[in-house]
Amino acid sequence: MYDGLTLLSLTPCTEEAAKGMTEFAASHMCRLLSEDDELRLPASGGCLDVAAVCSSQAASKFTSSFGSREVNMVDADAGAYLRNIGGYAKPYSAVSISGDVSLSSDFYSDWRDLEARDARVEAAVAASGGAATIETVGESLEGRSIKLVRFTGKGYSPGKPKLVLTFGMHAREWIASMAGIYAVETLAAQAAANSDFLAGVEVVIAPMTNPDGFIYSMLKDRMHRKNTAECGWWGKGVDINRNFNISFGTGSSRSCYSDTFHGPGPNSEPETRIIEKIMTESPMTVYIDVHAYTQVVLSAYGYMTKDHPRKSEYDALGVRMTDAIEAKHGANYEFGAIAQLLYKASGSSVDMADTFGALGYCYELRPARNGVGGFAPPVSEILPASEECYEGILVAISHIKAQ
């Protein structure tokens, strides 16, 4: 759908420029490829770096209106550019869930389709020697199974320390759900090799929480963010991560044409209800929701800028996870509360988990602040991003084991 349209790089450095670009994009039918429909400078300061797709005429007006310092043409064919740098989701035939299972790292040399991702998770569980189990926790809007992988350590019982991780909530963030698969298979291998590794704790991983949206991003709109709920005469989807019943509707959009549409009401989407079901099954100690991009580790609150009463706890674990992520490959990550470091966002899973008593975090993986290739990075980013994510998870596991 982006073939023949112009791809622009937008780098506003003032709130006035950001507001002007937002209004220009809306009035000229340009698609902003950003986390939000309203361009806002990071709360921590600095310029914004996002992309936009426009007709050639609108692109020309955009540049002339704001100047080449803040608006630059990247490519005259946005579709071709995104395919060239990001590629397609492909099958993977080397997965076998019977006999001698091979889980070689070439799986992460390319994007994989939903069937390959599901098979890879099943293969990892099958190869775990019983350290991991897999179960269907519910169905998406279109009836696809949403599964979780459970790692229950020796001596664990409900009420003891527990870590819950969710991946793939936003459809276009393919790298996040690839990191979820890597986390499943790496933890499965580690738990199988050392039966005492998770003693007294439980880790629950949902590696794909928005399968319908992912399929839609594969086949129709690579930049689709939401699920696939019908809304309006051409709108599609609800932002699952704005649909939770925590400060619902105050930091999101009421328009179903928006990427941050919060839905007709809190918990209106089956995917949201499934994630909450995972959260409330038994008390959580730590919750991590994995997204992309910008290379940050975020904590509650998302819906307000005030300091959290548990700020010292949040900061202590958050800094440790950030340091471990950075140490893996030397990439720079920032840490901070969502609303303080980036922007206010209501109805998020992180704040929902916080209300249930968990320390709620969000990882935003690679790449760094690069608006043009942020949601469609080169495949060379998949494995290092997954490895970095897992290092952070190991710190979270260490934390819950010490409780």
Tell me whether strands 162-167 and 230-231 are parallel, antiparallel or unpaired. Answer: unpaired
- What residue spans define the domains of the chain? 6-86, 89-401
Confidence band of 282 (pLDDT split at 50, 70, 90) = very high
* pLDDT of 99: 39
Which tokens sit at 52?
A: 């936009």
- Mean pLDDT across 235-256: 92
Give the pLDDT confidence of 99-128 residue by residue, as tens digits. 344 566 789 999 999 999 999 999 999 999
Helices 174-193/211-219 angle, 10° precision: 130
Average pLDDT of the residues of the chain: 93
Query: 6-86 — its CATH code?
Result: 3.30.70
Helices 15-27/56-66 angle, 10° precision: 160
* pLDDT of 318: 98
Give the pLDDT confidence of 166-177 residue by residue, as tens digits. 999 999 999 999
Give the pLDDT confidence of 293-323 residue by residue, as tens digits. 999 999 999 999 999 999 999 999 999 999 9
- Mean pLDDT across 135-149: 98
CATH topology of 6-86 equal to that of 89-401?
no
Closest residue by Cα to residue 45 from 75, 14, 20, 71: 14
* pLDDT of 284: 98
Fold classification of 89-401 is Aminopeptidase (3.40.630)
pTM more than 0.85? yes
Return d(Cα 242, Cα 246) in angstroms, integer. Answer: 9
